[in-house]
Structure formats: C-alpha cells, structure tokens
C-alpha cells in the first residue's frame, strides 16, 4: 500500500509540529525533529529489544521496591507528563540505562549498591537522560536532517499499522537499533555529565542523602581497579569517574565565594535553585534507608557466572570449556557478562572490536528440511550437524547481508567462516567476519562457539590481518591431535 503525498505530509506535520521546544532541564530552546509521541514509540520498541536480549528478572518484591523509589524521582523531575517503567534485567552485568519511557537496572548493579539513596541517584541519572531528550538528540545527530524525509515513512508504520511499506519498518528498525545500542555504548560524555547533575538534583529534592552519588562513584571506581567482571562496561560508557566526582563536589561548593559563577547556566533553572536551597539549609534532613535497601536486596540470589574464565596479558583461558583465545598486540580484552558472552575485545583505536560467545544445545532445537541446506523449523534432523549447518541455522537472526562464506580448518578444528555487512552498535556501517565452531559431545548434544570480529566499513580492510590472527588464536587448551 502506497500512501499519497498529502497523507504523508500530514503525518510528518503531526510528528514534527513541536519544532522548537524548551528543554525543561537546561531551560534552552531546541529544535526537535521528532515529536514526543514518536519519541515514546521508539522508546517502547527499544525497550522490547533490550528485554528480549537480556531477559527480565522475576522478583515481585524487588520490582515493587524499585518502582516505588523510581516514582519518588518521577515526582520531582521536569517531565511528569509521560509514563515511566522501571525494568530489572536478569544479568550480572553492572549497568543502568534509559530509553524514552523506560529505565533499566541490571541485577548486577543492584547487588553492588549500598543503600536506597545510591539507588535513587542512579535512577535519577537515568531519568535525566529522558527529561533531557538525550535519545532524540542522539538520533538527530546520527541521522541528520535527512531523517526528516524518512520520518513520514516511519510515521506510517507507527500510526498506520495497515500500511504495507517495508521502508517504514526498515527506518523504524534502524532508529530502534540505534537507541537500544546505547545500552552498551552510553550517551556520550556531555549527556552523561548532564544526567549526573539531573540525578543529583532529583535525589536531593526527593529527600535522599546527596553524598550517595559520590560514594557510588567511588565504589565503582575501586571495583573497576580490581577488574570485577562487568564493571568495565559501566566505566567505559561513562566519563572518567574522577571528572564525575569533581563535578558533584563543585555543586556542593556552590555556597563558597565565586563557585556559583562556575555553574551559572544551571542556576537559571528552577529545579537546580530549589535543590541548592535545600542543601544550604542546615536543618534539612536527608535519608539513605540503608536497612530497608539491604533487606530488600537480600532477596536477590547471587548468581556468579558458571564459566567466567580468566584473562592474563592477551590470553583468555576457560578451563571449564577447554578453550583459549589469544588476541594480537594493540588489542585489549575484558570478561563477558554471561555464560554465553565469554569475552569482549577491542582495538585500542576503537575502530574494531569482537566477541566470543558460547552456546550448548541438544538436537531438538536444531530443525531443518530433509535434504535442504537451510534450517526451516519443520523436520527434526537425524544427521550429525556440522559447523556449516549451525552457521546457516542462525544467519537469519543476524539481520545482516551475507557477502561470502566457506568451510575452513582452523587450530580449533573444522569451522565455517562468514563475512557480512551490517551496522555496529552505534548504527554505523560495518563489516563482520564470524567464525562458527560446532563440537559434538555425544548423545545428541553440541557445544557451539561463535567468534565475531567487526570494523567500520571504511577501515575494515585495515584489520583483516588482525582478524585472521584472532581466529587462529582460538584453540583448545588441551591440544587435539
């Protein structure tokens, strides 16, 4: 179904009629190419994508408590007109993130907080991303003004579900992937620091101990120095911790002579002035609710990774799975965040990265047509599976354009190597090279590994030698004859 021009123009007008709006956090007027309605819809789509990838943590007691604290912060924020959902992700990864309308907290970050005041500052920080329209600004910066010409098509998909226009869903999917990718990449230094200021302001106005933000930052920094699994991502997606602490200390020092000039812009906003006034009154009482938080958090069972592995120098070792991976010079690595995502690695220049994933499965989930090369989910296979079979069965889920593929023998054994064109987590065009390895363990069960390397499209050829070294550096700890 093709929509006529007048209808597309009407939809585009609806979506962009906000035009120049006043940012309630900064007080400045900004031009928004995306209406609030479209912003929230993209937030819903991104929310579903993140939940699908990481899973929900099912604990009604904890969920109710997080929502209670979250709503206290919503009551003092500048955008009370939209609905907020607070989601706990079932992963030991230490992280928190927000998309329009939804705040995510991982099980891992809840386990490392000390009290309710720290929780409030983290939730406040994430709500700060929403109140500051950071997702909207990121999309506009990434897609540019060309997004205006595509937005009407997106609108058809969002507001006209009967429209059969694949372009609409393609653009909506691209924007959704971009927003959701922020879970692993953050919003950038400027927006993260602004969210810190908002988070501190909200927690103070809600009556929480203001020092909690600094205590949380210091704990994250110390844990990062101890290389606790999962902390690296949280630190990498935010500005240097010392800079964040320094900013908060400046706010606390506003009563000192000359200090107010340093944050003159912030003082123009009503919320900042109210929070500062509350800080300056000696009789003001703040709370951390330490005992309550500790009682609630004890209901979260500790769930260490079953096969975490270790990293020494440039070598990842996992005796439980009998595998080792050595990366070349110029690369750094860190442990993954689940038993499936074992280790991440990145080139120091930041233009290339990779990941090693593991999956154990039985014959039942792997279904294919008899005599066909592609899996279709209709007839159970009675044949022994190969690395090539496994690669073909999951390629559709990659949502990438396949460029080539071949069977090959690597130190790890018989494998399949595929080359794909897609987008990285920031929505930029990138090329991927993926090594698939399938090891039969008997009685209809397999251990599968997927070693992926990716680089931006314009620099992909520069990393081909390193990618091959990485794949040849993947081997069994106990060398097979």
Q: Is residue 29 part of a domain?
A: yes
Q: Is residue 70 part of a domain?
A: yes
Residue 264: what pLDDT?
A: 52
Look at residues 247, 268, 293 and tell me which one is the last residue of a structural domain.
293
Tell me whether residue 201 is in a domain: yes
pLDDT interval class at 308 (50, 70, 90): confident
Residue 5's pLDDT is: 42
Token pair listed for 186 = 């953050």
Residues 177 and 239 reside in one and the same domain = yes
Which are the contacts of 8, defined by CB distance < 8 A and separation ≥ 6?
Answer: 152, 153, 155, 156
CATH number, domain of 451, equals 3.40.1000.10
What is the span of the domain harbouring residue 427? 310-476
Question: pLDDT exceeding 70 applies to what percent of the chain?
Answer: 73
Q: Which residues pair with 355 in a beta bridge?
A: 344, 452
Shared domain check, 329 and 278: no
Lowest pLDDT segment from 125-139, 232-246, 314-328: 232-246
Of 293, 319, 338, the residue at which a domain comes to its end is 293
- pLDDT at residue number 409: 94
Whether 129 shows a pLDDT value over 90: the answer reads yes
Total structural domains within the chain = 2
Q: For residue 151, tell me if it sits in a domain.
A: yes
Task: Answer whether residue 103 shows pLDDT above 60.
Answer: yes
- Indicate the range of 46-55, 220-229, 245-254, 351-360 predicted with least confidence: 220-229
**Taking a C-beta distance cutoff of 8 angstroms, is the pair 212, 117 a contact?**
yes
Q: What is the pLDDT of residue 475?
A: 95
Query: Would you state the pLDDT for residue 236?
Result: 66
Whether residue 44 is contained in a domain is answered as yes
pLDDT surpasses 60 at 479: yes
Token pair 């595998």 in the structure block, residue = 323
Question: Has residue 299 been placed in a domain?
Answer: no
Same domain, 265 and 378: no
| 63 and 208 inside one domain | yes
User: Residue 346: is its pLDDT beyond 50?
Assistant: yes
For residues 372 and 455, membership in a common domain is answered with: yes
Q: Tell me: the pLDDT tens digits for 172-201?
A: 666 777 776 676 667 888 889 999 999 999
Dihedral sign of CA atoms 221, 225, 231, 233 in order:
positive
| Better-predicted residue by pLDDT, 268 or 393 | 393
Instruction: Tell me whether strands 315-318 and 323-326 are parallel, antiparallel or unpaired.
Output: antiparallel
Give the model's pLDDT for residue 281.
Answer: 82
Contact 379/370 with Cβ under 8 angstroms?
A: yes
Is 481 within the bounds of a domain?
no
Same-domain status, 326 and 379: yes
Let me know if residue 305 belongs to a domain.
no
Q: Examine the fold and report which residue of 265, 293, 321 is the final residue of a domain before the chain moves on.
A: 293
Enter the pTM of the model. Answer: 0.64
Task: Confirm if 76 and 206 have CB atoms less than 8 A apart.
Answer: yes
| 408 and 459 share one domain | yes
Secondary structure of residue 281 in the 3-state scheme: coil
Enter the DSSP assignment of 283: T
* Most confidently modeled range among 62-66, 107-111, 161-165, 395-399: 62-66
Alpha-carbon dihedral 405, 409, 413, 418, rounded to 10 degrees: -10
- CA-based max dimension of the chain: 81
Average pLDDT of every residue of the chain: 78
Residues 272 and 378 in one domain: no
Please tell me whether residues 206 and 255 are part of one structural domain. Answer: yes
Do 112 and 183 reside in the same domain of the chain?
yes
Q: Are residues 238 and 288 in the same domain?
A: yes
> Residue 374 carries which DSSP code?
S
pLDDT: which is higher, 76 or 8:
76
Give the pLDDT score at 122. 96
| 380 and 435 inside one domain | yes
């Amino acid at each position: 179904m093709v929509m006529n021009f007048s209808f597309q123009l009407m939809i585009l007008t609806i979506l962009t009629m906000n035009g120049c709006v006043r940012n309630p956090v900064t007080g400045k007027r900004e031009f928004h190419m995306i209406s609030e309605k479209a912003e929230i819809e993209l937030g819903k789509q991104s929310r579903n994508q993140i939940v699908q990838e990481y899973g929900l943590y099912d604990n009604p007691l904890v969920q109710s408590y997080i929502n209670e604290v979250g709503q206290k912060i919503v009551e003092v924020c500048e955008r009370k007109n939209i609905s907020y959902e607070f989601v706990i992700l079932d992963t030991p990864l230490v992280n928190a993130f927000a998309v329009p309308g939804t705040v995510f907290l991982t099980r891992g970050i809840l386990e490392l907080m000390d009290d309710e005041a720290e929780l409030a500052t983290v939730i406040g920080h994430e709500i700060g991303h929403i109140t500051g329209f950071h997702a909207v600004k990121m999309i506009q910066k990434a897609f540019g003004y060309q997004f205006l010409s595509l937005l009407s098509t997106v609108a058809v998909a969002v507001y006209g579900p009967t429209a059969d226009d694949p372009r609409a869903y393609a653009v909506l999917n691209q924007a959704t992937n971009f927003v959701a990718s922020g879970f692993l990449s953050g919003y950038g230094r400027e927006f993260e620091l602004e969210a810190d200021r908002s988070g501190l302001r909200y927690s103070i106005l809600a009556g929480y101990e203001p020092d909690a933000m600094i205590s949380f930052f210091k704990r994250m920094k110390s844990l990062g120095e101890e290389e606790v699994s999962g902390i690296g991502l949280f630190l990498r997606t935010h500005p240097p911790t010392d800079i964040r602490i320094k900013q908060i200390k400046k706010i606390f020092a506003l009563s000192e002579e000359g200090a107010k000039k340093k944050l003159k812009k912030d003082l123009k906003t009503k919320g900042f002035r109210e929070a500062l006034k509350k800080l300056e009154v000696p009789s003001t009482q703040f709370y951390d609710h330490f005992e309550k938080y500790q009682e609630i958090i004890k209901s979260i069972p500790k769930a260490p990774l079953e096969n975490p592995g270790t990293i020494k120098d440039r070598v990842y070792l996992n005796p439980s799975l009998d595998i080792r991976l050595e990366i070349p010079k110029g690369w750094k690595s860190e442990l993954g965040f689940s038993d499936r995502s074992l280790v991440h690695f990145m080139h120091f220049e930041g233009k290339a990265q990779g990941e090693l994933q593991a999956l154990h499965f039985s014959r039942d989930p792997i279904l294919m047509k008899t005599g066909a090369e592609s899996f279709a989910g209709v007839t159970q296979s009675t044949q022994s599976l190969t690395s090539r079979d496994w690669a073909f069965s999951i390629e559709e889920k990659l949502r990438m354009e396949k460029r080539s593929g071949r069977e090959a023998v690597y130190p790890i054994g018989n494998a399949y190597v595929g080359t794909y064109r897609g987008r990285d987590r920031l929505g930029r065009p990138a090329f991927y090279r993926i090594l698939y390895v399938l090891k039969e363990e008997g009685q209809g069960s397999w251990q599968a590994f997927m070693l992926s390397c990716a680089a931006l499209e314009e620099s992909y050829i520069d990393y081909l030698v390193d990618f091959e070294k990485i794949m040849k550096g993947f081997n069994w700890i106990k060398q097979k004859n």
